[in-house]
């Protein structure tokens, strides 16, 4: 066996030396193969000056990047089973797909030869050391020791499992005791492996070990893991070209201002022949529907959590619940909830969308809890006629809610309106319950957002602004908060790091209460109403608006993005209307499919207004 190792050491030395030599000598190429002029035909021995000028040219010396590209293409062709094509590509380019020891290693892994596999690890370590050194890298001597243990462990684990599947319990036990345990590596995993000795049959073993069983599938997965421990100069990482292409596509999607669909991790849904670019016509920039059933200013709108309903509250003292047709993306009036004496300035859906709470403006001391399904009023809550209950937020458990206002009321109540807890002296402007079920965020008259814990009665400062916070909303993951700040506009804060992330430009924000929202797929977008009668939309990473939606004739008080249909947006205005925004009503073939070859599902419903 020492003779074999020595021979392969010489192979590795020759491979790395040839990869570092110049091919301009007309002899060896960067892979160590001799150049073959005239398509492989041997030239006559009596070379003459005339023959030298007969059009025979030396092959171009390939740069490192060009060699890398050829190797990547070769690996991809090999994965497709086009081995003859790979051989021709390597021969003509003068490159080598991988180190000779790596090729032998691959074959022995796939053939399930555990004895030779471990011996060739030593050769691969030497190859890695020489290749890194010949290419100007400093080689760390501790690297091969670490690689040796990890690779040996993976190989022996496969050997152990295959013995168990074959019913060779004694041989498996010998591997466990005499080969795996002495490595003193990943002892926790060794304890788990020892438990597999109790498996009664092969199916039980495969299920408990989450292992594909002896054969090509498990050995291919093993080889993929082993390749991660080897330098790419020796053995390319598995499916490297596909990985690079996926990264390129994902980067282009992230930079696309109008990309608003679910990211497909596969490459089959896109064309690699063109850069990714979504059309603005696919974005909710066009009026699909104008809802005119309210007879006064519309102060608030909010889609339900499942996206099938929209609730709108108005100065006309009514709440209208609309049904959203998911297929046509058209809205129809479902129910009208009446009796809110002061008008409706804020609405909150319960987590299961079964209930809806309505709050009024500053002078309102009551809130209404409606059963959406039946249209019946379940609770009408009022603690004192001097209260001002202008904001509300549901606890994630759906059994409690918090409410408050600027006169110093801050209550936690149950579904029947019974007071559970209260916090004195907090002048609340806006509320939000975090997903932990304990923390309530409240913006107050001190231009800040504080976190309140009703269980241990503690509070802490989270956000501090220099101007009044008129309203705020929080992202689904609870990490980001979107604030509408008086005279300043829309600000994005990181609640975990407690830092201001971004100030969005364009919106006109005075001292009116305007509500903004996160929206689109993965909440990549931000929308806000404005006192200049427009709806502004930004990409979350860009301070400048990517769309300004016109159509309303007075202040836009509130916007709401459908959480299920990323192409549907609603806006409520003092002009008494609610506008439903969506993609362009009619798209040509190129727009509908997208410049990236991805089909974009859009609503082709009839447009009822103009944008």
Q: What is the mean pLDDT of the chain?
A: 82
- Between the CA of residue 541 and those of 253, 349, 574, what are the distances in Å? 13, 29, 30
Residue 70 in 3-state DSSP? helix
**Angle (deg, nearest 10), helices 2-20 and 114-134:** 30
Q: Which tokens in the block code for residue 34?
A: 């001799």
The position carrying tokens 């330098």 is: 231
pLDDT at 35 (0 to 100): 37
Query: Do the bridges between strand 346-349 and strand 331-337 make them parallel or antiparallel, or are there none, so unpaired?
Result: unpaired
**Please, are residues 358 and 346 in contact by the beta-carbon 8 Å criterion?**
yes
| Mean pLDDT calculated for residue range 171-196 | 91
Rounded to the nearest angstrom, the gap between the alpha carbon of residue 311 and the centroid of all alpha carbons in its chain is 30
> According to the model, what pLDDT value does residue 597 have?
35
CA angle in degrees (0–180, nearest 5) for 234-236-242:
170
Question: Minimum mean pLDDT among 104-118, 464-478, 589-603: which range?
Answer: 589-603
**Backbone φ and ψ of 314, nearest 5°:** -135, 165
CA atoms of 343 and 388, how far apart (whole Å): 13
What tens digit of pLDDT does each residue of 328-350 get? Answer: 999 999 999 998 989 999 999 99
Write out pLDDT tens, residues 361-419: 988 889 999 999 999 999 998 887 778 899 999 999 999 999 998 888 889 999 998 99
pTM: 0.71
Nearest partner of 230 among 70, 106, 89, judged by Cα: 106
Sign, Cα dihedral of 111, 115, 119, 121: positive
Per DSSP, what are the bridge partners of residue 464? 448
Joined tokens for residue 462: 């989270």
Place of tokens 């009321």: 409
Chain mean position to CA 611: 32
In the chain, the largest separation of any two C-alpha atoms, in whole Å, equals 113
Q: What is the pLDDT of residues 433-458, one digit of tens each?
A: 999 989 999 999 999 999 999 888 88
- pLDDT 10s digits, 100-156: 877 888 888 888 776 656 656 655 565 556 555 555 544 444 445 566 778 888 988
Strands 400-404 and 367-371, bridge-based pairing: unpaired
Residue 608 has pLDDT above 50, yes or no: no
Question: Which whole number is the average pLDDT over 18-41?
Answer: 40
Count CB-CB contacts under 10 A for residue 399. 11
Q: What is the pLDDT of residue 51?
A: 45
Tell me the pairing of strands 480-485 and 489-494. Answer: antiparallel
CA distance 582 to 330: 10
Looking at the predicted structure, is the pLDDT value of residue 13 above 90?
no
Reduce the DSSP state of residue 370 to 3 states and report it: strand
Q: What is the pLDDT of residue 141?
A: 45
- pLDDT tens figures, 501-513: 999 999 999 889 9
In the predicted model, what is the mean pLDDT of residues 279-287? 89
Is residue 568 within 8 Å of 555, Cβ to Cβ?
Answer: no
* DSSP letters spanning 405-439: -TTS-EEEEETT--EEEE-TT--EEEEEE-TTSSE
């Amino acid at each position: 066996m020492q003779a074999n190792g020595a021979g392969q050491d010489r192979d590795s030395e020759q491979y790395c030396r040839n990869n570092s030599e110049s091919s301009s000598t007309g002899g060896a190429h960067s892979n160590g193969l001799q150049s073959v002029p005239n398509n492989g035909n041997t030239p006559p021995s009596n070379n003459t000056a005339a023959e030298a000028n007969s059009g025979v040219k030396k092959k171009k010396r390939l740069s490192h990047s060009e060699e890398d590209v050829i190797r990547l293409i070769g690996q991809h062709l090999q994965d497709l089973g086009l081995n003859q094509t790979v051989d021709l590509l390597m021969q003509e380019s003068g490159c080598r797909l991988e180190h000779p020891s790596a090729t032998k290693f691959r074959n022995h892994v796939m053939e399930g030869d555990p004895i030779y596999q471990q011996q060739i690890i030593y050769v691969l370590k030497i190859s890695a050391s020489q290749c890194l050194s010949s290419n100007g890298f400093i080689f760390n001597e501790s690297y091969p020791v670490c690689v040796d243990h990890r690779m040996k462990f993976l190989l022996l684990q496969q050997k152990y499992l295959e013995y168990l599947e074959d019913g060779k319990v004694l041989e498996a036990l010998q591997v466990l005791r005499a080969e795996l345990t002495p490595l003193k590596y990943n002892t926790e995993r060794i304890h788990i492996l020892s438990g597999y000795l109790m498996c009664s049959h092969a199916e039980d073993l495969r299920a408990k070990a989450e292992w594909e069983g002896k054969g090509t599938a498990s050995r291919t997965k093993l080889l993929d893991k082993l390749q991660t421990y080897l330098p790419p100069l020796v053995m390319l990482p598995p499916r490297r070209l596909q990985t690079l292409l996926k990264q390129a596509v994902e980067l282009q999607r992230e930079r696309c201002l109008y990309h608003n669909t679910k990211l497909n991790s596969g490459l089959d849904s896109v064309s690699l022949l063109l850069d990714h670019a979504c059309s603005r016509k696919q974005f909710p920039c066009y009026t699909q529907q104008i809802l005119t059933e309210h007879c006064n200013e519309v102060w608030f709108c909010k889609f339900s959590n499942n996206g099938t309903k929209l609730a709108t509250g108005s100065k006309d003292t009514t709440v209208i619940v609309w049904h959203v047709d998911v297929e046509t993306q058209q809205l129809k009036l479902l129910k009208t909830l009446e009796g809110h004496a002061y008008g409706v300035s804020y609405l909150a859906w319960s987590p299961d969308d079964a209930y809806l709470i309505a709050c009024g403006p500053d002078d309102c001391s009551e809130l209404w809890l409606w059963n959406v399904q039946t249209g019946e009023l379940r609770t009408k809550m009022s603690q004192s006629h001097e209260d001002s209950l202008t904001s509300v937020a549901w606890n994630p458990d759906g059994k409690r809610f918090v409410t408050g206002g600027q006169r110093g009321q801050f209550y936690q109540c149950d579904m029947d309106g019974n007071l559970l807890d209260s916090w004195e002296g907090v002048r609340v402007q806006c509320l939000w319950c975090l997903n932990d079920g304990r923390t309530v965020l409240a913006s107050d008259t001190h231009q800040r957002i504080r976190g309140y814990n009703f269980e241990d009665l503690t509070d802490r400062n989270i956000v501090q602004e220099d101007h009044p916070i008129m309203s705020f909303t929080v992202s689904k993951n609870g990490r980001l908060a979107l604030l509408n700040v008086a005279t300043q506009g829309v600000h994005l804060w990181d609640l975990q790091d407690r830092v201001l992330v971004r100030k969005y430009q364009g919106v006109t924000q005075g001292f009116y209460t305007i509500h903004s929202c996160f929206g689109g797929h993965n909440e990549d977008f931000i929308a806000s109403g404005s006192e200049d009668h427009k709806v502004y939309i930004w990409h979350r990473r860009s301070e400048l608006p990517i769309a300004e939606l016109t159509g309303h004739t007075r202040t836009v008080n509130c916007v709401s993005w459908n959480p299920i249909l990323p192409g549907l947006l609603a806006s409520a205005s003092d002009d008494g209307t609610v506008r439903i925004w969506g993609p362009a009503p009619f798209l040509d073939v190129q727009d509908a499919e997208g410049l990236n070859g991805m089909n974009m599902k859009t609503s082709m419903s009839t447009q009822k207004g103009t944008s």
